[in-house]
Structure 1
Amino acid sequence: MSGPIAGGSERMETTRMTTRCLLNIDLGELPGEDEQLYALAHVANIACGGHAGDERSIREALERCRRHGTRAGAHPSYEDREGFGRRALEVTPEVLRAQVASQCALLATQAAAVGVPIEFTKPHGALYHAANREPSLARAVVSAAKEVLGPRVTVIGPGTGALREAALAEGLAYAREGFADRATLPDGTLVPRGQPGAVITDPQVARENALRLSQGGAVETLCVHGDTQGAVAIAREVRAVLDAA
């Protein structure tokens, strides 16, 4: 396992608000990814071998981060390539911790070679939701990331829940996240994928979503998924909203 590589002075946490809302984009997941997404993102969440990604794709993503001055983050997941990490799996906290640590270490090794610090971590897909519901899973994810990436890594996750509590208990910065390209239910949770309208593909609707979410200080970062149809156009609108704030 590689030594910690993390850094950055612009730390975010729910108890100390940043003055700037950042755009994070899930990247390094699919072949033929548009490099414009790296130029538009403040933070690239890089798939590191669980649901997608390998040494080659990770290195390419990191090199793109370096070219565009994009900050890099780990995007660990359940080890589920067949389901793209979007299926909830029965995994013990101990096994999950080892899996997340291994994925973060793969990214950290490549990051050290490229010279890009890993400043963020955000679980992917089903793990994002499962860890936020179950404290033992949240602790496994957060402690593994801290061990590999260091104590200055910022955890990205929902505004409330087990992930936030685990991050703060470990003394890590925490960035509350909203989703510019996802619809929400009245209680604020995401409309499940597969339901009509769950994924927002209209750039103007995403822009309106970004305006609503970024106002009032409820989130420190907005997400656009790199595999969303029209992701570049959506990211461009969201970035414009955040730059104008």
Structure 2
Amino acid sequence: MTERRIDLNADLGEGSEHEAAIMPFVTSANIACGGHAGDVESMRESLQLAARHGVAAGAHPGFPDREGFGRRELHFPPAEVTAFVREQIEALKAVAAQQGVRLAHVKPHGMLYNMAVKDPALSAAIARAAADSGVPLYYGLARQHSVMLHEARLAGLKPVGEGFADRGYAPDGSLWPRGQVGALLEQEAAVAQGIALATRGQTVAVSGEVVSVPAQTLCLHGDGAEAATLARALRVALEGAGVRVLAPI
């Protein structure tokens, strides 16, 4: 029987007061590195916290858009995307080196991620920056014919398919748009979806269709008071279902 395992990641380093309560329950931390959020001090604190709990640390680059928290649709030439993503990864990498931490992965943030899901050129530009920085793993949306994972593979990275425990899905395997009913799941539904993704590789879309989500890592968002409670509940439920919760190899 094949061992069931999953990584549990959270988007951190974004100024949430709940980060210290979330970190013990995740296995990977995506740390904001100066684009949508984060500075040298916050990066150092997140890296130290991750190291203390044995959590794999990764870069979470986003659009250089602090005012919009990286959630606004912006458009840059691919070369500029590669440049600002590389700059953010290298900023975190420098702080990590001071802490004796090696970065394990890159995961784009917010709208940069959402646009890359459907844009091969944008996906390639982000993956190129990750490859240039020597970070081995790349987190991208787990779906059939994933553009993000394909471009990561072409860039020489190891792609890691990502599912979302606390987000609703569209029938095509993309995330249901924020701001629409069903986009964000309450804790009970998020835990149930996390278990379904980890054990069956599928969930049910907001519109009712069964969706294939071949996830190797599950994301939960770390920017709310409920995040720590969800992190603990999801970790306990996964282990109770016989799933080993481990960072990717």
Cα offset, 1:194, TM superposition: 1.0
Cα offset, 1:165, TM superposition: 1.0
* Stretch of structure 1 that moved more, 43-52 or 159-168: 159-168
- Equivalent residue number for residue 167 of structure 1: 152
- Equivalent residue number for residue 8 of structure 1: none
Cα offset, 1:205, TM superposition: 1.4
Task: Indicate yes or no: 2:49 matched with 1:64.
Answer: yes
3-state SS of 1:133 partner: coil
3-state SS of 2:133 partner: helix
Aligned match for 1:141, one of 118, 122, 126: 126
RMSD: 1.6
- Equivalent residue number for residue 226 of structure 2: 230
3-state SS of 2:176 partner: coil
Q: TM-score, normalised by structure 2?
A: 0.86
Task: Indicate yes or no: 2:181 matched with 1:185.
Answer: no
Cα offset, 1:188, TM superposition: 2.5
Task: Indicate yes or no: 2:173 matched with 1:211.
Answer: no
- Structure 2 letter corresponding to 1:55: V
Distance change >3 Å, CA 134–CA 187, structure 1 → 2? closer
Contact persistence 1:193–1:199 (CA under 8 A): yes
**Cα distance in structure 1, aligned partners of 2:130 and 2:55:** 20
**Cα distance in structure 2, aligned partners of 1:189 and 1:66:** 32
- Equivalent residue number for residue 120 of structure 1: 105
Flag structure 1 segments of 5+ consecutive residues without an equivalent: 1-16
- Equivalent residue number for residue 157 of structure 1: 140
Cα offset, 1:31, TM superposition: 4.3
**Cα distance in structure 1, aligned partners of 2:174 and 2:59:** 23
- Report how many residues are paired: 226
- Equivalent residue number for residue 6 of structure 1: none
**Cα distance in structure 2, aligned partners of 1:18 and 1:168:** 24
Contact persistence 1:104–1:149 (CA under 8 A): no
**Cα distance in structure 1, aligned partners of 2:21 and 2:224:** 14
Contact persistence 2:16–2:222 (CA under 8 A): no
Aligned match for 2:237, one of 232, 237, 241: 241
**Cα distance in structure 1, aligned partners of 2:150 and 2:171:** 24
Flag structure 2 segments of 5+ consecutive residues without an equivalent: 202-213, 244-249
**Cα distance in structure 2, aligned partners of 1:131 and 1:185:** 16
**Sequence identity percentage:** 42
Q: TM-score, normalised by structure 1?
A: 0.87
Cα offset, 1:38, TM superposition: 1.0
